[in-house]
Structure 1
Amino acid sequence: MKKLNAKSNKPLYLQVEAAIRNDIQQKKYLPGEQLPTEEEMCNLYSVSKITIRKAFKLLTENGLVERQRGRGTFVKPKKETLAIGNDKGFNSSLSSRGHKVENNILHARRIKADKFLSEKLHIKINDSVINIKRLMLEDNIPLGIDNFYVEDAKYPEILDNISSTKSLYQLLSDKYQVENYQSELTFNGIIATQETAELLQCLTGDPLFVVEKISFNSEGQVIHYSSSTIRCDRVTYVIKTGPNDDKNISVDQVTE
């Protein structure tokens, strides 16, 4: 139980709000973590539900927490700004800011190219394709789902070398000496299905980015195709323009 200063001129709800805000800043409650229920907070601070609700309302207005109907109150993750065209990849961009980045492999398999993949990868229908699907996490919170496709014949033994800690781009560079030269990007918006929401720990119907990318080497040959589904509440994309506006831009930070 935490004691408040009953003799203070500061209202109890402001004291509770300050105490919870301090706990968030001190990492007692981590980004994306659910706060104790109103009843638990009442017992913790020996105050009424009205006091807790006023404290929660203030925390919500200040952008520190978010109330999710039917689920509870959660610490609001900081929304990261990622520059499209940044040479840094997704892993290195967030790691350099002190974030823990992980990629949980959902599946890694060989499939046959259909018409769609044959056009994206510039291969024949029924050619063998490597598909690696990963759940991307930032500070243990799901950020996005990446579906990565490469032509099997170009990258022998790639399935034996993937890991949750190493970037796929770094793997292509280190093992196959492949470097991205330019990329084509397509951005779209969708809403989360029940299956996607469960993976991303968001609500069904929440807005999501879908970023499709085809990367090329310096000779214009396709390196890979990927489709990444990203939580809109976790990422803001920024496009910088200038004298070289006509050059191709890449979004390695999304699909690394």
Structure 2
Amino acid sequence: MDGERILIVEDERAVARGLEYGLSKEGYQVLWADTGQLGLELARLRDPHLILLDIRLPDISGFDVCRQLRAEGHRQPILILTARDEEMDTVLGLELGADDYVVKPYKLRELIARIRALLRRAYGELTESRRGERLVFGDVEINLEELQVKRNRQVVYLTSTEFRLLHLLASHPNRPYTRAALIQAVWGYEGGIGSDRTVDVHIRHLREKIEEDPAKPRWIVTVHGIGYKFQR
């Protein structure tokens, strides 16, 4: 996919212009919003492939933007930009449906590497040979044709990253994955990029959405000292 649209929601003009310049050189179409409300409007009107979202905005917070977009069913990757002293806020961002976060100051090359990986995983990971596949376990069904998950015949809303994570685990039952392996396979990051916290929050989200009792998971279980596996 060429010329993907990236929406930057960032009120600091210098930061936004630097991102716009760097991303444009990489061939991306860049949209910029300097307020949360404008970010919501552009996301709805232009349907960007990925959103770079600052937490601290002059009107509504990045948390509110993320929450609203996910509530409206927008599934594109959201990458949060946060300052070092706000790093604990990233947990809330992930809880609200963000796919990952980057701490300022960041290296532009690392940020672009994350963007490329998220776009590749979000839009290019399903081949035609896999699109007719269905996985059923208990009262849960994964439908790759429709990129949809149902529980008790009711649609379960998942972000694109949550969907990929669940599909990977369910496709390889009883195989333990380290967090590093999940980061590489699901987020597409290599070379130590990525956070264990990001994986743990996404696993918790999946348990809350598909498990009968998230505190005592039947399907997505912890493998102590290693990571996680899908138990059949």
Q: Which has the higher strand share?
A: 1
User: TM-score when scaled to structure 2?
Assistant: 0.25
User: TM-score when scaled to structure 1?
Assistant: 0.23
Q: Which has the higher contact order (CA 8 A, sep 6+)?
A: 1
User: Which has the greater radius of gyration?
Assistant: 1
